[in-house]
Amino acid sequence: MSNAFSLAGFRVVTERGQTHDLAAKVALAVREEGGKVYQTYRCGLMAPDGSLVAQIDWAWPQGTYVAEDEVYAYATHSLANEIALSPKVIAYLRSHRGGGRDAGASP
């Protein structure tokens, strides 16, 4: 996920004590209904004070298949793109820390 955030334009920090604009918490939910598998990747983005900035969900598109060793990369990059394009995330970053130029995500 760190690589996907970096490629989406975020500066990623990996230690809790480091200065950051957003903290990302990622979860995956998988369910099966009527013979179809549904995967939803959820990312909660919190401000340093712990308040929720945005919750971004990305659902694996039905009928989309990738090579077994590309599943994680496809999912994380798709989720990171949704985050980078989120109007709530963009507005938050523009209003904090110099317009998001030093935006980071932490684990």
* pLDDT for res 18: 87
Which residues lie across from 38 on neighbouring strands? 31
SS3 letters across 19-50: CCCEEEEEEEEEEEECCEEEEEEEEEEECCCC
* pLDDT for res 96: 86
* pLDDT for res 32: 95
Positions of the chain with pLDDT under 70: 97-107
* pLDDT for res 97: 65
* pLDDT for res 14: 85
Task: Give pTM, 2 decimals.
Answer: 0.81
* pLDDT for res 15: 84
Which residues lie across from 39 on neighbouring strands? 30
